[in-house]
Amino acid sequence: MSFPLSGILLVNKPKGMTSHDVVDAARKALGIRKIGHAGTLDPMATGLLILLVGSATKLSSRFSGLDKDYEATMCLGKITSTGDAEGKLLEERPVEVSEEEVRAVFERFVGEIEQVPPMVSAIRHKGKRLYELARKGIVVERKPRRVTIYRLEITRLDLPEIEFFVSCSKGTYIRKLCEDIGEALGCGAYQSRLHRVRIGDFHISDAVNVEDINEDSVRPLYLQ
């Protein structure tokens, strides 16, 4: 007797696909409709996406509070409408900062900080997602939220670009972190690359590419 396929599927999401695109690809590859994802990645972002298959979908809430690690790149001197490379360029400023100033500002963002969620986030406002309002040109007031940056390390500094690693709590927006660091430096910044490498105890090294999804990729899910 065979049992319905159920468990966790770790996928390395490529750039250009939405999280729902990945779910659709998994449904086709596995021949099962009951699949959901735990933690959205924007189309321009890459890296670890957790899919829950079959009866494991009912455990999606267990993933909402997990910490995450990212590798990212920010570009100083430019401000965009979305805080990333896909937004409209709003302003350009000269980048007149030293390496020492950059490192000092990075240190200031380690620990508990406040972030105002970006308008392109999935947070709801009166029943509507903020990104839905943003597409219509509507901007609403957002209350700041407290998040925690556990680690924030510069891995390459080649101004105006800065590559960095960040380990953070749930609810942290890396694009907003880039914008806030840019403002603290006085030149503005936007997120040009985002790659998620960890969610809780799950790591990108255990993920499969979308084209390699098969039944053997789905493993049992045990959560306490």
Q: How far is CA 4 from CA 31, 131, 221, in A?
A: 11, 36, 14
Amino acid identity, position 17 = M
Which amino acid, one-letter code, is at 51?
Answer: L
Angle, CA of 180, 182 and 187, to the nearest 5°: 140
Asked if 42 is an active-site residue, the reply is yes
Annotated catalytic residue, options 42, 69, 84, 180: 42
| Backbone phi and psi for residue 127, each to the nearest 5 degrees, phi listed first | 85, -5
Distance between CA atoms of 87 and 131, rounded to whole angstroms?
12
Name the DSSP letter for residue 79: E
Query: Is-contact 71 155, C-beta < 8 A?
Result: yes
3-state secondary structure of 192: strand
CB 79 within 8 A of CB 182: yes
Give catalytic residue positions: 42
